[in-house]
Amino acid sequence: MTAFEAQDPDFERRVRESFARQRVMETMGATLLRVTPGEVEIALPFRAELTQQHGFLHAGVVTTIVDSACGYAALSLMPPGAGVLTIEFKLNLMAPAAGERMIARGRVTKPGRTINVCAGDVFAEQNGREKLVATMLATVMTIHNRPGVTD
């Protein structure tokens, strides 16, 4: 992995403030852990209220945290004033989302002026061990100069 350099020295505060405006994160109980240039980590403790019919976290819930981890990884490398928008993603589900909590890690694999490619993984934590639950490949857009879409 290449190490990236942030264009905005204030990138961490900016990511944390935008995350704090995502009301779905509070509703689900997700928190923002680590923010470094090009990488972001989000945690979600298991909650039965977010499950599908077999008792695992719903794929859409898993998507929620890993999409935000990818988007904020991209935002961490954007210039001041820009906004972040997910264009599309693909998610592969590899194991049931069961365990004490989920950790989503998003990272930029190819930053660009407009188009950023990001990869993300979700791990289930149980008894101090991590198991890979899902993996995402996402396309994230940098929005320049559009009022209402600034992060």
The separation between the first and the last C-alpha atoms of the chain, rounded to the nearest angstrom, is 26
- Write down how long the chain is: 151
Ramachandran bin of 15, using left for φ above 0, alpha for ψ from -120 to 50, beta for the remaining angles: alpha
Shortest Å distance, C-beta 136 to a second copy: 8
- Is the separation of the CB atoms in 33 and 42 below 8 Å? yes
Cβ of residue 128: shortest distance to a second copy, in angstroms? 18
The mark string for 29-58 relative to a second copy (x by CB under 8 A, - otherwise) is -------------------xxxxxxx--xx
Quote the longest CA-to-CA distance of the chain. Answer: 46
Q: Does 115 bind a second copy (CB under 8 A)?
A: yes
Binding region for a second copy (CB under 8 A): 18-19, 21-24, 26-27, 48-54, 57-65, 67-68, 83, 85-95, 109-110, 112, 114-115, 117, 119, 132, 135, 137, 139, 141, 148-149, 151
